Chains A and B, each alone.
Chain A
Amino acid sequence: MRQFLVFVRKEFYHIFRDKRTLLILFGMPVVLIVLFGFAITNEIHKAQIAVLDNARDAFSSRLVSRLTASGYFEVNRYLSSRAEVEPAFREGDIKLVVVIPEKFGHNFHHAKKAPLQLITDSSDPNTATTLTNYANAIVMQYQEEMGGKMELPLTIQTAVRMEYNPSLKGVFLFVPGVMTLILMLVSAMMTSITITREKELGTMEILLVSPLRPLLIIAGKVVPYIGLSFIISLLILAMGAGVFAMPVKGSLVLLLLECILFGLTALSLGILISTITNSQQTAMMISMMGLLLPTILLSGFVFPLESMPVALQVISNIFPAKWFIIILKSIMLKGGGLQQVWLPTLILSGMTLFFLALSIRNFKSRLS
Chain B
Amino acid sequence: MQPIVVQHIHKSFGSVKALHDISFTVEEGELFGLIGPDGAGKSTLFRILATLLLADKGNAYVNGSDVVKDYRSVRRHVGYMPGRFSLYQDLTIAENLNFFATIFSTSVEENYELIRDIYEQIAPFKDRPAGKLSGGMKQKLALCCALVHKPRVLFLDEPTTGVDPVSRQEFWEMLKRLKSKGIPILVSTPYMDEAMLCDKVALIQKGEIMQINTPAAIVAGFGRQVWAVRAKNMYHLLKDIRAFEGTHSCFAFGEFLHVTLDTDESALQKYLRPLQHEDLVIRPAQPGIEDSFMQLMLEQNETT
Contact = CB atoms under 8 A, between A and B. Distances in A.
Direct contact between A and B judged by beta carbons closer than 8 A: yes
Interface of A: 2-3, 6-7, 10, 13-14, 17-18, 201-203, 205-212, 365-368
Given A6-B98, A7-B103, A13-B95, A201 B88 contact: yes
26 contacts: A3-B103, A3-B105, A6-B99, A6-B103, A10-B88, A13-B95, A14-B90, A201-B89, A202-B82, A202-B84, A202-B86, A205-B50, A205-B82, A206-B146, A208-B52, A209-B52, A209-B75, A209-B78, A209-B80, A210-B100, A211-B104, A211-B105, A365-B71, A367-B47, A367-B53, A368-B53
B95 A205 contact: no
Interface string B37-64: 0000000000100111110000000000
A208 B82 CA distance: 12
B29 interface: no
Contacts of B75: 208-211
Interface of B: 47, 50-54, 71-72, 75-76, 78, 80, 82-84, 86-91, 95, 98-100, 102-105, 129, 145-146
Contacts of B50: 205, 209
A206 B72 contact: no
A212 B76 CA distance: 9
A224 to B, nearest CB: 14
B154 to A, nearest CB: 12
A2 B103 CA distance: 9
Given A13-B91, A209-B78, A211-B76, 6 more contacts: A2-B105, A3-B103, A10-B88, A13-B88, A209-B75, A211-B103
A17 B89 CA distance: 11
A-B pairs with lowest CB-CB distance, top 6: A202-B86, A6-B102, A17-B90, A203-B86, A367-B52, A210-B103
Contacts of B103: 3, 6-7, 207, 210-212
A211 B82 contact: no
Contacts of A366: 51-54
Contacts of A14: 88, 90-91
A206 B145 contact: yes
A161 B99 CA distance: 55
Contact of B87 (A13, A203, A207): A203
A368 B98 CA distance: 28
A206 B81 CA distance: 8
